Amino acid sequence: MFKSLNQFIRLQRALVAIKRQYLVKVWGMNIHPTVVMSLSARLDKTNPGGIHIGEGTYIAFDAAILAHDMTRAMKVDTRIGKNCFIGARSIILPGIEIGDSCVVGSGSVVTKSIPAGCAVAGNPAKILRENIETLKFGRLKDKVPEEK
């Protein structure tokens, strides 16, 4: 029937690339070409020009990134840095800036800006670790053990 599941991986990657191009070209979002996102990730289309996502970032399924708040009648920029990981079902509120090399835990609600090199989780999200280093897509960089 199927030779390999790699056929589906190629299809998924192609669909993600099409979605990213659609969000950039049609909606005017600022999304780097190396960003990978789940097909179910939700990016704010009420203020699409306010979405900025840096290179090498991964956005997991059902994550929501907002750039507007109707109750306060505000449209602001929401920025996510390079090499970040945005966990499943997390929510990034409008006007938040997430620095480079950050990890946002699944189900987190990010209500305040996050400095570079932090891991956050919770509702509201709190910093769990600082000075972390990440590779592409927010993968934690393995630290080399010190020799004695």
What CATH number is attached to the domain comprising 57?
A: 2.160.10.10
- How many separate domains does the chain show? 1
85-133 pLDDT, tens digit each: 999 999 999 999 999 999 999 999 999 999 999 999 999 999 999 999 9
Q: How many CB atoms lie within 10 A of CB 77?
A: 15
Q: What DSSP element (H or E) covers 25?
A: helix 6-25
Nearest to 137 by CA among 78, 55, 52: 55
DSSP 8-state class, residue 98: E
pLDDT digits (tens, 9 = 90+) for 64-94: 999 999 999 999 999 999 999 999 999 999 9
Hey, what amino acid is at 117? G
Q: What is the model's pTM?
A: 0.88
> Is 142 within the bounds of a domain?
no
Query: Could you list the residue range(s) of the whole structural domain that residue 38 is in?
Result: 6-137
Distance CA 127, CA 19 (A): 31
